[in-house]
Amino acid sequence: MAELILRDLAKTYPGASTRATDDVSLDVADGEFMVLLGPSGCGKTTLLRMVAGLELPDAGQIVIGGKDVTYLEPRRRNLSMVFQSYAVFPNKKVADNIGFGLRMRGVPADGVRRKVEWAADLLQLRPYLDRYPSRLSGGQRQRVAVARAIVMDADILLMDEPLSNLDALLRLNFRAELKKLVAELGTTTLYVTHDQVEALSLGDRVAVLRDGVLVQCGPPGAVYDEPADEFVGGFLGSPPMNFLTGTVCTDEGRPRVDFGGQSVPVPAALSSYHGKRLRLGIRPEAIQLGDGGGLRGELQVLEPLGASALLTTDVCGQTIKVQAPATFRAEPGRRLALRLPVDQCRWYDPETSLLLEVR
């Protein structure tokens, strides 16, 4: 167990025109569960591979437990990894796969067997220990990869989308299992996913990457509540955050943002934007349906989603998605009153897309 520090990691693959990771700095505390979240191709795997030592950064530093390991061989870093492609050895039976790392370390056969059985029980692989991976399903192979990683008692546990191939139900169960397991192990974990629900549910902290740049890092609640820029707000949450563009004006001495006939109040801190454009961000579930007050939107589509209903409304030509109670019923075309609680509104600069401080 150890802390992991990444400093200004930059990597450009040979022949590529853009950086795969662009000066990424990240501190993962001892025992912390850090989730790397980002869309496909944003450099998550690249970052993980540099930590593992399978890829060397062009610049920057990797420190594990106070020791600079930037250019150290992978096997000397004392970490274990779940590969995105599983990389479960096809020529070894499941039991030998799980015990591989321990065997390489020279752990006696008896100790290896006990650990393997422990992991197999945990991941429900007991019946398959004697099989070759070619006779397993994709999800089972993925579990073998996870088992192989957790038996290691490594300083750092790296996981690259370890749940991506499980069906929805299994994934839900395993998410909880994994959370419990890693908490028990207490291993410092760097976990890669492009699934925002997974990120929010698992991480002590979530680091959001876009195009190789670390955009925001913080506890899941904070990242969800106050996205540092519009990309994060749009990437986290399903449906994503709503964004509306308006112009700041003054009404009876108070600043308001006008969307073209309709307006909402703006915090006084933003009065410097007078006459300029401003972006309002609000989560669909933060919007309250009421009678009167706030914005008037025309209902366009109603999608029942089981636990809730998703409304697509039109406000002055801009689209706002609203999460309504499952029992909500209305015909398209109806005008709805949308109340936007002031404390749920986030403000963004239209030029930079960055969150504006209002407190």
Partner 1 sequence: MRSRSPWLLLLPSLVLMAALFGWPLVQAVLAAFRDEGGFTLAHWQRLLTDPYFLPALRNTVLLIVIVLPVQLALAIGMALLVQARPRFIGGHFYLWCVPLAISELAAGLVWLSVFDNRGYLNSLLVSLGLSENGVQWLSYENTTTMLLTVVIAEIWRATSLVFVIVVAGMQVIPRDYDEAAQVFGASLGQRLRHVTLPLLMPSLQVALILRTILALQAFAVAQALTGRDFPLLVGETYEWYVNLRNPAVSSAVALVVLALSLGTALLYLRTVRQPEGAR
Ligand X SMILES: Nc1ncnc2c1ncn2[C@@H]1O[C@H](COP(=O)(O)OP(=O)(O)OP(=O)(O)O)[C@@H](O)[C@H]1O
Q: Which residues bind ligand X (CB under 6 A)?
A: 13, 16, 20, 38, 40-46, 84, 194
Q: How far apart are CA 199 and CA 114, in angstroms?
A: 32
Positions in 83-142 near partner 1 (CB under 8 A): 83, 85-87, 89-92, 100-101, 104-105, 131-132, 134-135
Closest separation between CB of residue 182 and partner 1, Å?
Answer: 18
Site string for Mg ion, 83-122 (x = CB under 5 A): -x--------------------------------------
Opening angle at CA 81, ends 79 and 83, nearest 5: 160
Using the minimum distance from each CB to partner 1, give the nearer residue, 52 or 286. 52
Closest among 136, 38, 50 to 86, alpha carbons compared:
136
* Kind and range of the H or E run holding 205: strand 205-210
52, interface contact from Mg ion, ligand X, partner 1, none, CB < 5-8 Å by kind: partner 1
Using the minimum distance from each CB to partner 1, give the nearer residue, 112 or 278. 112
What number of residues does the chain have?
A: 359
336, interface contact from ligand X, partner 1, Mg ion, none, CB < 5-8 Å by kind: none
Using the minimum distance from each CB to ligand X, give the nearer residue, 29 or 213. 213
Does residue number 52 form part of the binding site for partner 1 (CB under 8 A)?
yes
Does residue number 45 form part of the binding site for Mg ion (CB under 5 A)?
yes
Residue in the block written with tokens 């890693």: 182
Contact 357, 268 (CB under 8 A): no
Q: Which residues of 58-90 are buried (b: 16+ CB within 10 A; e: fewer)?
A: eebebbbbeeebbeeeeeebbbbbbbbebebee
Counting Cα atoms < 13 Å in the Cβ hemisphere of 286 gives: 21
Contact 129, 140 (CB under 8 A): no
320, interface contact from Mg ion, ligand X, partner 1, none, CB < 5-8 Å by kind: none
Does residue number 80 form part of the binding site for partner 1 (CB under 8 A)?
yes
- Interacting residue ranges for partner 1, rule: CB under 8 A: 52-54, 73-75, 79-81, 83, 85-87, 89-92, 100-101, 104-105, 131-132, 134-135, 148, 152
